[in-house]
């Protein structure tokens, strides 16, 4: 098994990462993963507005271009730049994985987070977890993403047709973390 945390500019292959995480461990009966990507638009916070912007089932918006409804859902994202604090970021994510091991019956976890300039539909983050049964993997994967969104020291800057702006923390991310009994303000 490779490192548990990787902060990198290069893309990753989910299948390769899962094979490496699982390795020869015959106890593994479940692997859960999450991959986050750059959206081409800032989605509206309400379900009704967001649902109207979804492409037809199975369809994807053109790579690098806006979907037809993006004008109703916030500015088009031309690119996103992610920065981190080297050393501190890896240490924070390692602590998150340790906490996931304390809370859930899991065998392994891997987090990859990309930095640098990314384009719409590029992969940003991967969380993968192994366990004997799916329930523990699902819970640990979701816990790690909720924790990662609020506590890992990353900074995001979006480039839109209106200019560049830093992305603020969202209250919904704090609420997601609170579900796990963790009341910490977004860093």
The CATH number that applies at residue 125 is 3.90.1170.40
- 69 found inside a domain: no
Structure pTM?
0.80
- 186 found inside a domain: no
- Domains of the chain: total: 1
Chain centre distance of CA 113? 8
pLDDT, position 187: 54
Tens-digit pLDDT string for the chain (187 aa): 679 999 999 999 999 999 999 999 999 999 999 999 998 876 644 333 344 444 444 444 444 444 443 444 567 999 999 999 999 999 999 999 999 999 999 999 999 999 999 999 999 999 999 999 999 999 999 999 999 988 899 999 999 999 999 987 777 877 888 888 887 766 5
Spatial separation of the C-alpha atoms in residues 98 and 79, rounded to whole Å: 33
How do beta strands 123-131 and 30-37 pair?
A: antiparallel
Spatial separation of the C-alpha atoms in residues 88 and 24, rounded to whole Å: 31
- 54 found inside a domain: no
- 55 found inside a domain: no
- Show the domain range for 141: 5-41+75-178
The secondary structure of residue 61, as a DSSP letter, is P
Beta strands in 12-162 (DSSP E): 30-37, 79-84, 106-114, 116-118, 123-131, 154-160
Q: Is 35 helix (H, G, I), strand (E, B) or coil?
A: strand
**In the numeric block, which tokens belong to residue 167?**
């992305």
Spatial separation of the C-alpha atoms in residues 177 and 175, rounded to whole Å: 5
């Amino acid at each position: 098994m490779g490192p548990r945390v990787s902060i990198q500019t290069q893309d990753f292959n989910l299948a390769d990462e899962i094979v490496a995480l699982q390795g020869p461990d015959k106890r593994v009966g479940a692997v859960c993963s999450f991959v986050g990507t750059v959206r081409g638009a800032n989605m509206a916070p309400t379900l009704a507005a967001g649902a109207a912007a979804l492409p037809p089932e199975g369809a994807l918006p053109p790579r690098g271009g806006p979907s037809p409804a993006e004008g109703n859902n916030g500015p088009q994202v031309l690119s996103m730049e992610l920065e981190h604090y080297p050393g501190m970021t890896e240490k924070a994510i390692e602590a998150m994985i340790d906490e996931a091991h304390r809370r859930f019956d899991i065998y392994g976890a891997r987090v990859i987070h990309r930095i640098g300039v990314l384009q719409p539909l590029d992969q940003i983050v991967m969380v993968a977890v192994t366990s004997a049964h799916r329930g523990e993997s699902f819970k640990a994967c979701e816990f790690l993403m909720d924790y990662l969104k609020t506590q890992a020291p990353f900074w995001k800057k979006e480039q839109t047709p209106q200019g560049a702006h830093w992305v603020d923390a969202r209250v919904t991310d704090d609420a997601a973390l609170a579900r796990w009994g963790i009341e910490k303000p977004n860093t």
